[in-house]
Structure 1
Amino acid sequence: MAESGRGGSPLISFIVPVYNVRAYLRQCLDSVLADSSVPLELIVVDDQSTDGSADILAEYAARDRRVTMITVDRNGGQGPARNRGLEVATGDYVWFVDSDDWLADGIVAAVAARIAHTDPDVVIVDHVRAHWDGTNERSQNRFGTAPEVFAPHEWPAVIEVLHTPWNKVVRRSLLLATGFQFRTGWYEDIPFTYRVLLAADRITLLDRVGVHYRQRRVGAATRTVGDGHFAIFTNWAEVFDNLDDTRPGAEQLRGLLFRRMLWHFLIVRGNDDRLPNELRARFFAEMTSHYHRYLPPGGYPAPGGLAGVKNRLVAGGRHRTFQALRMGFKRAQDAKATGNLALRAAKQGKRAARFSRSAALRAYYHSELRRPRDPQLALFAAYWYRGYACNPAAIYEKAKELAPGVRGVWVVRRDKVASLPAGVPYVVAGTRAYFQALARATYLVNNVNWPNYVVKRPGSTHVMTHHGTPLKVMGLDQREFPGGVQDPDFAGQMRRADRWDWSITSNAFTTQMWERAYPCRYRTLEAGYPRNDRLALATSEEVASVRAKLGIEPGQRVVLYASTHREHLPGYHPPFDPARLREAAGPDAVLLMRSHYFLDRAGAAKDPVDLPGVRDVSAYPSVEDLYLAADVLVTDYSSVMFDYAVLDRPIVIYAPDWDAYRMIRGVYFDIVAEPPGAVALTFDDLLEAFRTGAVDNDAATKARADFRRRFATLDDGHAAERVVKTIFNG
């Protein structure tokens, strides 16, 4: 096993097992390391991650002496990884933290203060369930009723506190004295919790949120269907098989544990996200077996009401009655839901009557969905049907070469038909032909989401290519920046992303951001961006040809200015004087100005077409042509910088509203601190960068090289080939 980094005489040893959680890992690690006032060590155990999590861990270990990285020889699961971390821990206390959760601000210092005040064996902190939709659900714990310090028999309600390792800070000597070792598999937290609690003489509850318990949309064990949930029985058996009946209050605690065990069994048995239909009867039989095996001689405090009825059904092994009771309850809920749906349908029917043509086309679409899929048909679209562009266009071209059996058809708006290259098959959005193709295509390739009404057919393959490396936050990450949110229906965003089979990413950074922003079940293909193949393979002859087509003379310096859209400031234009910038760029310079595709420049101070040496290229069909023609790119927060970096030419970040933009719109990293070249925060700074040569001096060149290593290593000219071979050729 490999280890790196050591440090200090810690009060707390944090142990974090890690396996394929790169989307959430930085937030977890940062939350642990945020407080430098408490001596701590962070032991991260990479359980043979395959998604790049290990690289993140190595980065943290290299820059923070408090971090120790351990890499195990083979994947063994969360339990063995925790055991390995405990072997090297040196702190007075141990805190196991899950790598997709994060600690609350200030909790480490609060725990340290409680330890200093009470000298406990165990500190238990409260938590919130942090749901993917941005809502937080506070626990039902009632910590305020407990003594400041107690043993389990003095406050037996501690048995009801959530049985996880991550809400407990345990004296290391106590944990070692128990000889406890985590098991492999799920539910390994059950024996840990009760072995520790029942061995402790001094427990204290810290009545404040300490952990944000992430409720993932996908990937969590609690949302995974399978027979792995039978591990619950082995782990509860370990609790009862190791009870010490000589401890004070042992009989009462045994009864409470038994009730808690039945509660836990019923939670799992009643969850459709855990057990498939064919395993539910066998699971119930195991519940009954454990009931009779561990029923305390003196009985237990059985719950009342419906919970009590369920307990009695478990005791009698009456699975059919239990199932009938459960299904009856579900039917009652379904009937209520059906009534609501009928009411909504009636309202929608009235609206549909006002839009009969649209309703008829949608009906036709649904009738076509019942016909067989066309196994050769691939439907392509880009930018909400604005034309032939971006990653889908590059994939379409490469598929013609490498997958000739695939028949590609494009979706375009009626006003964009003329922009299509000659010979490209197409359907016009909203027509009968469009709905037929949409219903019967086997492959659907787009750089944005298809409309809400699109149905994901079984056997079809949806490919989300995206249309840029994200600097600004996207998807669920936008919840923290409500001022910049244009689509607050995050549940709807996730439903659309649930249709993706593949997410194409340009680099490891983008992969991590998309997986966090869109936590769905798609597979990631980290291949580079197909649209950048042309840039990576461009020859000097092609560059000269493009410049000639644009009317640019040999030797003229070309500056491309492209700003991004600011959703929170409609109509905003950065302070900009085209004539002064062109003059600063050089006597023969040409300034090309391109607006974001969401915008025009109506209302701008001066129309650039009226200025010598300045050209408006917003309507020019190929942004790649403009990249090839340009000697320098000036941009703000647009993803064009990531594409242009492939060419290894100077880039200038002009960010006059940087502080406001990152605060309101939200960004994934500081583009001013980690830029692709020179940075200008005012227009005068921008002019000065050109006048002094800072645009391409040594500092700018080094910054560009660092930027390219981070974002452009996969853009080698073969991204489209990798996508086509994976998606269309299996």
Structure 2
Amino acid sequence: MLLSVVVAVHRSQGYLRAALDSVCGQTVADAGACAWELIVVDDGSADGAAIAADYARRDPRVRVLAPPDGNREDGHQGDGPHGDEPRGDGRPVSGAGARSASATGTGAARNAGAAVARGRYLLFLDPEDLLLPGALGAMAERLDARRADGQRAGGQRADGQWADGQWADGQRADGDGPDGDGPDGDGPDGDGPDVLCLGHDRVDWWGEVRPPDEAPAPGAQLFRRAFWTAHRLHFPDGPYEDVVPVHRARLLAAGSGTLDRLDRLCVRHRLRRAGTFATTPGRAHFAVIDAYARLLAETGDDPRVHPLRTTHLLAVLADPGRIRPGDRAAFFRAAGLPGGYPAHRARQAARTGRARTREASVRSRKALRTRVMGAAYRADLHRPLDPDLAVYGAYWNRGVACNPAAIHAGARELAPHIRGLWVVSSRYRDRVPPGIEYVIEGSRAYWRAMATATYLINNSSFPGGFTKRPGQRYLQTHHGTPLKTMGLDQRSYPALTNGISFERILAHADQWDFSLSANPHTTEIWDRVYPSSYEHLNLGHPRNDVFFTATRDRIATLRADLGIAPGQTALLYAPTHRDYRKGFVPRLDLDRFTRELGPQYVVLVRAHYFYGRSAGLEGSGRAIDVTGHPSVEELCLAADALITDYSSLMFDYACLDRPLICYAPDWEAYRASRGTYFDLLSGLPGDTPGAVAATQDELLEVVRSGEWCSPRTDALRTAFRERFCPYDDGHAAERVVRRFFGTG
């Protein structure tokens, strides 16, 4: 076996699948299935373990190891929102240590993976790393070429210079190195390089490609396993665990002429915007000084270490995501860097011009936002917070609806001391039910409420660009499970994102304290596309509680109120909007559809709320326009089956365990224009919720033949429900209220 890939997983659920896919998609010519193995080590990660286990079940080349002793999830301590993983300030960083999602490092997990590896070479990847297409094949070719010619030419010295035809320490390339065939003298293995440096780069959260780190990282090179073992290389505990083993390996290989490079981009590291040790400034980063002290001790004060140390420490010093301004002089002195800190600052002044310009731009945007808020809001910010006031909003102030409405109802029962106040647009004030207190967006009352409320709950965003005060708690409930790309993932579809400010999206996410999720898929997506330091609440969607609690009498009343006759089968047709076209244009000839189905069927048509209160269905036979109905949940309860295309309503409707029909006549166009997270029409369990139709004739046949409620489609629906409704059970609102309002 050529390669063992070790991935230590610690709270990287939004990145892990892509990393594992990048390995599982690698092939090597003539190597069969034995080219690689993938060892995923659970570094105390409750979220990543399930993802890795899923891959292991599907691919025998993937193994999952339990967390090393001391890395259990329940043993993490710290004052950040994720135990020992403090909040970051949102700045991308570089250098060794940036790849650790845990303040204590991932050393033990990597060591555990290396101990059970069977490949000739080791590659340590992080969940944020991607092994680019064709990378493994290129590595194999390079290693084969080295074994074939038996030469040591092209070795790299530790100072970054490349030797030409001779050892880095002056020995000739045609002679044996100090260790003969390698530290273990194991024949064919010893013919290859001990360390193969790989082409690598980084991409930040904005999508900009950056050059490699100042310091070498584990994912940027292959280590010959016999070499790694013979020299007892290992990752120590604590931050900056990369420094000692990576530098030692490169120095040893350079000294013996067994350091080689592959001039091809193989690994791409995705920088996380926040939520990691390396994005959290503080004195914990002084640990890099100790790491180099250990390296010097282990190498006998090797003079080649000193320039490496200086370069790396200066990079850490200059990174505002690591060393705070007030700590820089102390860091400089502790590191024993040459010259005084004032002189160093003077030398760096010219190099920081760009950074100062960017900081000035940020300050300008914040000042503009503050001015827009108005004098009234600024005055109210000096008022004390009301400990019993909660402000709710839904669908950009369209009324009382969705998860916030269910949480509001739950709070009135379980936390009656909490006063609930809704934000509503003046255009939708008629949608507010009697007895619900509300304010009009932008009004004086609105700004006072936003300035003084302790609790904020929304499924979209509050208007006006408010500033969340210390002590306020913001719960983002969202309003559906994502099939189409969301948040930062929309950057790949620029034709449809004109006018969208991703900076504002990120600023909004930075205000959240909690993000609600109904399934693991959603949690993974939100973790990546809305990168910030909020806490995931995997508690289910409160709006779906009614699907588990509604009685038969309640459902019968709803059906009667909608005009559904006894014995009729009600089909809820709820297509979503298209980004690539304007207005609601049904992909069904509703008059023909209802006529050919016959009087035993009635079709409830619900247009997306973007299109207003009416679908304009006058003269469409037995199709009933229910677009203006105040509760989509009630429509779902009344329907015997759901016909939809790509609406997130399908994920909620699955809670009812009633038939789902995917009518997707423009699937390819929809995927190409907006992008989706999985193939809804694949027919695979967990991806496809039921029967599928691409034309109206196919849809008619699906209904008339009974395929929509056959054993095959029932099985698909069961798998879909298991994947996307694991947290919904009728008690989500209660769980959220108790967790968010602290009622026990």
TM-score by length of 1: 0.85
Confirm whether residue 22 of structure 1 aligns to residue 28 of structure 2: no
Structure-1 residue corresponding to 2:58: 63
Cα distance, 1:83–1:691 mapped onto 2, change above 3 Å: same
Confirm whether residue 34 of structure 1 aligns to residue 57 of structure 2: no
- Alpha carbons 1:14, 1:94 under 8 Å: kept: yes
Query: In structure 2, what is the Cα distance between the partners aligned to 1:682 and 1:601?
Result: 27
Confirm whether residue 630 of structure 1 aligns to residue 639 of structure 2: yes
Instruction: Give the CA deviation at 1:223.
Output: 0.9
Cα distance, 1:717–1:616 mapped onto 2, change above 3 Å: same
Q: Match of 2:61, as an amino acid?
A: R
| 1:675-694 equivalences in 2 (<5 Å) | 675-694=688-707
| 1:551-570 equivalences in 2 (<5 Å) | 551-570=563-582
- Alpha carbons 2:665, 2:693 under 8 Å: kept: yes
Query: In structure 2, what is the Cα distance between the partners aligned to 1:36 and 1:276?
Result: 45
Confirm whether residue 668 of structure 1 aligns to residue 677 of structure 2: yes
- Alpha carbons 2:4, 2:38 under 8 Å: kept: yes
Per-residue CA deviations over 1:612-634 (Å, capped at 9, x if unaligned) read 32111111111111111111110
Q: Match of 1:60, as an amino acid?
A: Y
Structure-2 residue corresponding to 1:209: 265
Cα distance, 1:609–1:629 mapped onto 2, change above 3 Å: farther
Instruction: Give the CA deviation at 1:322.
Output: 5.3
- Alpha carbons 2:68, 2:109 under 8 Å: kept: no
Instruction: Give the CA deviation at 1:259.
Output: 1.9
Q: Match of 1:198, as an amino acid?
A: L
Structure-2 residue corresponding to 1:374: 386
Per-residue CA deviations over 1:636-674 (Å, capped at 9, x if unaligned) read 000110111111111100011111211221111111122
Confirm whether residue 696 of structure 1 aligns to residue 709 of structure 2: yes
Confirm whether residue 576 of structure 1 aligns to residue 588 of structure 2: yes
Instruction: Give the CA deviation at 1:429.
Output: 1.4
- Alpha carbons 2:392, 2:422 under 8 Å: kept: yes
Instruction: Give the CA deviation at 1:332.
Output: 11
Instruction: Give the CA deviation at 1:333.
Output: 6.9
Percent sequence identity is 42
Query: In structure 1, what is the Cα distance between the partners aligned to 2:562 and 2:233?
Result: 73
Structure 2 residue corresponding to 1:612, chosen from 605, 617, 621? 621
- Could you tell which deviates more after superposition, 98-107 or 702-711? 98-107
Instruction: Give the CA deviation at 1:336.
Output: 9.4
| 1:223-372 equivalences in 2 (<5 Å) | 223-243=279-299, 254-276=302-324, 280=328, 282-288=330-336, 311-313=338-340, 319=341, 362-372=374-384
Per-residue CA deviations over 1:424-449 (Å, capped at 9, x if unaligned) read 11111122211221222111111002
Q: Match of 2:204, as an amino acid?
A: H
Instruction: Give the CA deviation at 1:277.
Output: 6.1
Q: Could you say what the CA RMSD is over the residues aligned between the two structures, in angstroms?
A: 2.7
Instruction: Give the CA deviation at 1:679.
Output: 0.7
- Alpha carbons 1:557, 1:585 under 8 Å: kept: no
Structure 2 residue corresponding to 1:424, chosen from 432, 436, 452? 436
Per-residue CA deviations over 1:15-47 (Å, capped at 9, x if unaligned) read 111112111100101101112335111111112
Per-residue CA deviations over 1:590-631 (Å, capped at 9, x if unaligned) read 1111100011599x8xx5332332111111111111111111
Per-residue CA deviations over 1:89-145 (Å, capped at 9, x if unaligned) read 1111111111221111211111111111113222111222110011111338xxxxx
Per-residue CA deviations over 1:322-341 (Å, capped at 9, x if unaligned) read 57887999799759966997
| 1:81-480 equivalences in 2 (<5 Å) | 81-118=109-146, 119-139=192-212, 162-200=215-253, 201-243=257-299, 254-276=302-324, 280=328, 282-288=330-336, 311-313=338-340, 319=341, 362-451=374-463, 453-480=465-492
- Alpha carbons 1:131, 1:215 under 8 Å: kept: yes
Structure-2 residue corresponding to 1:520: 532
Any idea what SS the aligned residue of 1:551 has?
coil
Structure-1 residue corresponding to 2:164: none
Any idea what SS the aligned residue of 2:288 has?
helix
Query: In structure 2, what is the Cα distance between the partners aligned to 1:344 and 1:28?
Result: 36
Any idea what SS the aligned residue of 2:219 has?
coil
Query: In structure 2, what is the Cα distance between the partners aligned to 1:422 and 1:416?
Result: 14
| 1:507-546 equivalences in 2 (<5 Å) | 507-546=519-558
Instruction: Give the CA deviation at 1:588.
Output: 2.3
Any idea what SS the aligned residue of 2:563 has?
coil
Per-residue CA deviations over 1:125-179 (Å, capped at 9, x if unaligned) read 1222110011111338xxxxxxxxxxxxxxxxxxxx7321110011111111211
Query: In structure 1, what is the Cα distance between the partners aligned to 2:632 and 2:274?
Result: 37
Query: In structure 2, what is the Cα distance between the partners aligned to 1:657 and 1:700?
Result: 21
- Alpha carbons 2:579, 2:673 under 8 Å: kept: no
Query: In structure 2, what is the Cα distance between the partners aligned to 1:459 and 1:98?
Result: 35
- Alpha carbons 1:583, 1:589 under 8 Å: kept: no
| Structure 1 runs not aligned, ≥5 long | 1-9, 141-160, 246-253, 292-310, 314-318, 353-358
Instruction: Give the CA deviation at 1:198.
Output: 1.9
Indicate the structure whose relative CO is greater, using CA pairs within 8 Å and at least 6 residues apart: 2
Query: In structure 1, what is the Cα distance between the partners aligned to 2:365 and 2:36?
Result: 58
Cα distance, 1:327–1:396 mapped onto 2, change above 3 Å: farther
Structure-2 residue corresponding to 1:13: 4
Instruction: Give the CA deviation at 1:586.
Output: 4.0
- Alpha carbons 2:442, 2:463 under 8 Å: kept: no
- Alpha carbons 1:559, 1:585 under 8 Å: kept: no
Cα distance, 1:695–1:586 mapped onto 2, change above 3 Å: farther
Length, aligned pairs only? 653
- Alpha carbons 1:672, 1:679 under 8 Å: kept: yes
Query: In structure 2, what is the Cα distance between the partners aligned to 1:336 and 1:21?
Result: 29
Cα distance, 1:325–1:121 mapped onto 2, change above 3 Å: closer
Query: In structure 1, what is the Cα distance between the partners aligned to 2:542 and 2:634?
Result: 15
| 1:580-659 equivalences in 2 (<5 Å) | 580-600=592-612, 607-659=616-668
Instruction: Give the CA deviation at 1:255.
Output: 4.1
Structure-2 residue corresponding to 1:708: 721
Structure 2 residue corresponding to 1:43, chosen from 39, 46, 52? 39
| Structure 2 runs not aligned, ≥5 long | 72-104, 147-191
Per-residue CA deviations over 1:206-237 (Å, capped at 9, x if unaligned) read 22221111111112332123443232123212
Structure-2 residue corresponding to 1:723: 736
Any idea what SS the aligned residue of 2:511 has?
coil
Structure-1 residue corresponding to 2:166: none
- Alpha carbons 2:244, 2:291 under 8 Å: kept: yes
Per-residue CA deviations over 1:27-85 (Å, capped at 9, x if unaligned) read 101101112335111111112212x2111111111111111211134344411111111
Query: In structure 2, what is the Cα distance between the partners aligned to 1:336 and 1:24?
Result: 28
Cα distance, 1:681–1:83 mapped onto 2, change above 3 Å: same
Q: Match of 1:15, as an amino acid?
A: V
Per-residue CA deviations over 1:461-484 (Å, capped at 9, x if unaligned) read 111110001111101111223344
